[in-house]
Amino acid sequence: MLDKLLKQAEAIQKSAVAYVEKTQPIVEEYANFKSGFAKRAHEVVGALVERNIVSRDASSELIEKLASEPTYALDLALAVSRRIGVGADLGKSAGALPAAGNLDPFEKLVLFGDSRADVSNFDGGVAV
């Protein structure tokens, strides 16, 4: 009877060791992820405070939420994108430039770097 109990205990011990060997790297990897994520959360919230997207008073609470639940970052990204109001034209071509003769000096400055640029025969090439 005692021999049978010892064999059962040894089998349980071996399965426990095998379980720990499998799960320990996963636990350590997740701990490293959480630590790195918490550091990045501080940086991201700091940038949001600098841009006046998040108030300084709410920053500590936001950091805690991000550090405790990483999926909250997706909620934050969604909320910020809705506030920004990205237009439907994002990623589409801006269209053709206005005719060269119709440019005012400011447009010439922006497009060609010189408000006095003569663009009537500009071929699009830039000399270096």
* Backbone dihedral angles phi then psi of residue 113, each to the nearest 5 degrees: 85, 5
Residue 71 resides in a domain: yes
* pLDDT single digits (tens) 24-51: 999 999 999 988 888 888 998 998 889 8
> Rounded distance, CA 22 to CA 20, Å?
5
The answer to whether 98 and 69 are in contact (CB under 8 A) is no
Residue 104 resides in a domain: no
Could you give the 3-state DSSP secondary structure of residue 22? Answer: helix
Instruction: Pick the more confident residue, 88 or 46.
Output: 46
Asked whether residue 91 carries a pLDDT value surpassing 80, the answer given is no
> Rounded distance, CA 37 to CA 68, Å?
10
Domain that holds residue 23: 11-85
Residue 116 resides in a domain: no
Question: Radius of gyration over alpha carbons of the chain, in Å?
Answer: 30
Residue 121 resides in a domain: no
Residue 57 resides in a domain: yes
* pLDDT single digits (tens) 14-23: 999 999 999 9
Residue 6 resides in a domain: no
Q: Contacts from 35-38 at CB under 8 Å and sequence distance 24+?
A: 37/66, 37/67, 37/70, 38/63, 38/66, 38/67
> Rounded distance, CA 97 to CA 107, Å?
10
Q: How many domains does the chain have?
A: 1
Asked whether residue 101 carries a pLDDT value surpassing 70, the answer given is no
